[in-house]
Amino acid sequence: MRTRSLIALIVLISLAVPLSAQISRVALVRRSDIIFVGTVTRAGVVRVDQVFEKPGAVSLMKGDSVAVVAARAGSPPLNPGMQATFYTTGWIYGRWITVREVGHELIGPQLATVAGAGGTAHQDLVARARQQVDDADLKARIQTAAMVVVGRVEQIRPPAYTGAPAPHKRFTEHDPNWQEAIIHVDEALKGATAGERVVVRFPGSRDVAFVGTPKFAAGQEGTFLLRKDSATGSPLALMAGQTVQAYTALHRLDVLPKQDAPHVRTLMRGP
Amino acid sequence: MRATTLLVAVTFVVAGCGRPQNPPGGQPTPPPAPPPPPPAGVRVVDMIPASLSGETWQDAEPFLTVFASKPNILAASAFTPNPGGPASTTAPIYVSDDGGSTWSLRNTLPSNVQTADITHAGGESPTLYATILSTPSIALKDLETTDVLSATTMTQDATRPNTDQPFVRAIRAASTDRLYVGINDFGAPNGRTATVDVSLNGGTTFTSRRIESRNTLGQNGPSIRPAVARNNTVYVAYFGWRSNAGDTITSDIVVARDDNGATGTTPFRNLVDASDNQPGRLVATNRTIVFSNGPTLGQERIGSTLSLAVDALHSDTVYIAWADRVGSGDIQTVHVRRSLDGGVTWSNDLRTLPNTTNPALAVADDGTLGLLYQQLTGTGNASRWVNRFEQSRDGFATHKDLVLATVPANTPASQFLPYLGDYDGLLTRGTEFLGIFSANNTPDPANFPSGVVFQRRVNQATHQLLDGSGSPVAVSIDPFFFSVPVMP
């Protein structure tokens, strides 16, 4: 056992039934941010055998022990020696980690061979489930977008509001400092026409409130999922003397690399 | 057993670094004299726990809560995100159950990934009240938990939009917790936005009390700072923004007072200024404040720097610190002043600190004043953020000083603003001052002349941060807790 740290681990397996009778692997992966294969070393203590997924900031590796608290009280305890894939969320980060169990997948005969082969194939199953989760999230964004385009940012400018009063200026550190990106549509995937130009508003502020919000720069190319502006309070813009609808792309999935366009097209075609 | 560096908290005793090489053909260079040992009883603790040793976030704008009846329990916050990533629906707070020697992070704030502004205060121990601007809506949320050590999500007492910089103080009175939340309320009428949301029933209900009695340029400054004495006298400091030319504001520095815990129907009217007979004493007038949402003081923004502290046992003694532009080549200058008569008259500057931000004031039970601040020194690549703590009992005629940290100002590059924070925190508990600030986390003893303890993994010899596997981790901004004995 590693002397690096002793992490009290209380793992309560909630169910001892095949995965198919439990939540699907995709559903487990969706709700998890720390996924690992572990072996119960003693009551409530699990040694990590292999880490499949974890946030980059988290220190967790083979040989560590982790505390896992069951999602439901009263679940039967794990027996020492049992091996399982644990789907968990980080809960308390101290010298050790305590995680909440989302679910687990016993390493039974159908997975023992997979796990025995370095666990690579099993890790692939989890990775595939993660891809399905990511695709489902992206597809949801695509379906609710007003426009999906491949294009290039031609210009960044201050907002050209029209049709409604410009938002009243406030002195606050959380002022979004709205800017406009004029995007040339190279390829229209949904709701647009190739060759048109679209006004996309984004917060130019560097405030912490907008740290995760996509920003644009002149010359930037990408695949953009756009929504009609309902954020600034002035949804129309001026472009070339015309009043046009303004759009926003405020979610991290709304601004993708240009090379993601084929994947977006595939998701748009699917069921 | 893994052949890795032992993952334990590493205490740096300030020590000499490696010896310089002998000059060619010369005599051995004598080793440098070791620096003096850190002051007795002083602790500085990097709060990032060992299990997050790979963390590289800009953990700015720290805040601290202590619990009078449970001295081992502390709560803290910073702009630390939920390590679980962008899909997280909760944000973390820090807690300690050993008086601040070690800290853990638990995801209990109902805000996506992280909060924007956050402050908190202790109620009947160990109840914690927190006021946050949640993300992504930036709505104000008043939160509480009856057990700060619990890892369950805090409950929401109230919420509303259109506010800025909530700053909560709490006191126990009549067997109930009273809360005073200073906020800049953009929904207030006539542009008089300085407001204190008062709860006399532990957060069950809140009443918005408008405290600006004079005309403004359309709003007050973001910082509204309550301070409460044990006899239930409540002071509130705020910026009376009267006019502006672009981002250059002309402001008054105003202090209001309520002698009865704001329990009356027209609170905060006990301190009147003789110049206009209006509530709110004008401590200083026509001050120039530059409101900048870009890097201005080093990599830090400026525009609303304010702190207020009352002697908890002698409510007539009040201290205020604010920043404005003096105009003598400074970017902004912090002024510290005192009143000994309940805010009626004020001293001139007891301290005048150029190129300084984030002053935090606290008064110990014996009347000793503590002052924490962050000062930008030097220029260009030699510029540094110096985190100082001063104590005085005689209005700074004399004062005892400590440098808690002196760190490079140009690294790391800022990820967002604020770089260090729009405020930090200082409190007292018994015979100690307890505080928190954010700074560059390079584990170099020379940066921490009062000593430092790292919970996260570090390499002493190379002054590097390490992740769990032993790989180097980039320098970033971490929150640091400290405790300093009240001077004898």
Tokens of B466: 């390490």
Residues in chain A closer than 8 A to B133 (CB atoms):
174, 209
For residue A235, give how far its alpha carbon lies from the nearest alpha carbon of chain B (Å): 18
Mean pLDDT to the nearest integer, B379-396: 96
Q: What is the pLDDT of residue A165?
A: 63
Q: pLDDT grade, residue B428 (50/70/90)?
A: very high
Lowest mean pLDDT among A66-75, A181-190, A216-225: A66-75
Question: pLDDT of B123-166, one tens digit each?
Answer: 987 899 999 999 888 899 999 999 999 889 999 999 999 999 99
pLDDT of A77 > 90? The answer is no
Mean pLDDT to the nearest integer, A71-84: 78
Best mutation target, B10, B293, B423, B469, to test chain A (most A CBs within 10 A): B293
Question: Across chain B, what does the average pLDDT equal?
Answer: 92
Please answer whether residues B307 and B362 qualify as being in contact, where contact means their C-beta atoms are separated by less than 8 angstroms: no
Q: What is the pLDDT of residue B447?
A: 97
Please answer whether residues A188 and A268 qualify as being in contact, where contact means their C-beta atoms are separated by less than 8 angstroms: no
Q: pLDDT grade, residue A76 (50/70/90)?
A: low
Question: Across chain A, what does the average pLDDT equal?
Answer: 86
Q: What is the pLDDT of residue A11?
A: 40
Distance (Å, rounded) from C-alpha A48 to C-alpha A64?
Answer: 5
Question: pLDDT of A147-194, one tens digit each?
Answer: 999 999 999 999 988 766 666 678 999 999 999 999 999 999 999 999
Q: pLDDT grade, residue B36 (50/70/90)?
A: low
Higher pLDDT, B425 or A108: B425
Residues in chain B closer than 8 A to A205 (CB atoms):
293
Q: pLDDT grade, residue B223 (50/70/90)?
A: very high
Higher pLDDT, B121 or B20: B121
Considering CB atoms only, which of B51, B107, B113 is closest to A58?
Answer: B51
Q: Do B84 and A5 touch (CB under 8 A)?
A: no
Q: Degrees (nearest 5) of the Cα angle A66, A71, A72?
A: 125
ipTM of the complex: 0.89
Lowest mean pLDDT among A64-73, A235-244, B392-401: A64-73
Tokens of B478: 């971490």
Q: Do B54 and A252 touch (CB under 8 A)?
A: no
Q: Do B83 and A58 touch (CB under 8 A)?
A: yes
Mean pLDDT to the nearest integer, A45-60: 94
Q: What is the pLDDT of residue B28?
A: 55
Q: Do A61 and B60 touch (CB under 8 A)?
A: no
The residue among B55, B163, B139, B117 whose CA lies nearest residue A208 is B117
The chain A residue lying nearest B55, using CA atoms, is A57
Higher pLDDT, B261 or A166: B261
Residue B399's alpha-carbon distances to A49, B486, B488, in angstroms, are 56, 12, 12
A33 touching B, CB under 8 A? Answer: yes
pTM: 0.91
Tokens of A43: 């009551």
Gyration radius from chain A CA atoms: 24
Lowest mean pLDDT among A164-173, A234-243, B318-327: A164-173
A215 touching B, CB under 8 A? Answer: no
> Strand, helix or coil at A75?
coil
- Give phi and psi for A117, each to the nearest 5: -80, 45
Question: pLDDT of A89-123, one tens digit each?
Answer: 999 999 999 999 898 888 865 555 454 444 578 89
Q: Do B88 and A33 touch (CB under 8 A)?
A: yes
